Amino acid sequence: MDLAFVLYPNLTALDLIGPYEVLGHQPDVTVHFVAETRQPVTADAGLIITPTVTFDELDRADVIVVPGTGTWRDPLEAGVVTAWLRRVHPTATWTTSVCTGSTLLAAAGILTGRPATTHWAVRDALAGLGAVVSTDRVVRDGSVVTAAGVSAGIDMALTLVGLIWGDDRAKFTQLVIEYAPEPPYDAGSPETAPAGMVAFARSAVGGFPS
């Protein structure tokens, strides 16, 4: 099974690494890190990732994972990722996104009229791109699975493991990575965080609408 993890400048590293750690250790998978070129790609906090294949070289994958970025308008305007998604999505078994990666799926026409989720600060933008926006942490519609902000990529990947390899394999994976979150604060969503903090976060997170 071919897994394609999409790379582009300033992607959010955990959007990529969370699903990779969950999916990359499953049986009989081949992982591809796909980008416009084979030159190293720098994530938004400085992590450098080396692609293994280019968009021109990879014309199909069983599973596609598209991470997000705080500067999500940039890859939308560049159009390189969306052009590749239009080409490979029709033959993929699963097409997925994490955080603002859903805006790239939407721009490629994959989410038109479909339920999907994204980072809370980009819900209006995703709706403007034609998706039916949900506030759920993980949303599945047919062969498309979207995750909310950043850390939700782990939930999405575990959901996908359950769909592909079965619930027991997903539970085993959850146990092995000791995914039993007990955050020290209850401020992980705009519904639970103080209103003033939500307003500050909207203005502070680069690239997101205020």
8 A C-beta contact, residue 158 and residue 145: no
Q: What are phi and psi of 133, to 5 degrees?
A: -80, 130
List of domains in the chain: 2-182 (3.40.50.880)
Helix then strand then coil, % of the chain, to nearest 5: 40, 20, 45
Q: Beta 53-54 vs 30-35: how paired, if at all?
A: parallel
Q: What angle do CA 127, 21, 164 make, to 5 degrees?
A: 70
Q: What is d(CA 207, CA 210) in angstroms, rounded to the nearest whole number?
A: 9
Q: What is d(CA 183, CA 186) in angstroms, rounded to the nearest whole number?
A: 7
Set 22, 99, 116, 160: catalytic member = 99
pLDDT tens across the length of the chain (210 residues): 999 999 999 999 999 999 999 999 999 999 999 999 999 999 999 999 999 999 999 999 999 999 999 999 999 999 999 999 999 999 999 999 999 999 999 999 999 999 999 999 999 999 999 999 999 999 999 999 999 999 999 999 999 999 999 999 999 999 999 999 999 999 999 999 999 999 898 887 755 653
The candidate with the shortest Cα–Cα distance to 12, out of 55, 37, 53, 49, is 49
- Count other Cβ atoms within 10 Å, centred on residue 25: 13
Q: What are phi and psi of 160, to 5 degrees?
A: -65, -40
C-alpha 7, offset from chain centre: 11
CB-based contacts of 156, cutoff 8 Å, min separation 6: 19, 96, 98, 138, 145, 146, 147
CB-based contacts of 206, cutoff 8 Å, min separation 6: 70, 71
pLDDT of 32 reads 98
Q: What is d(CA 46, CA 29) in angstroms, rounded to the nearest whole number?
A: 28
Q: What is the pTM of this model?
A: 0.96
pLDDT of 210 reads 39
Our answer to whether residue 33 is catalytic in this structure is no
Q: What is d(CA 139, CA 96) in angstroms, rounded to the nearest whole number?
A: 10
What is the per-residue pLDDT across 125-136, written as a single tens digit (0 to 9) for each?
Answer: 999 999 999 999
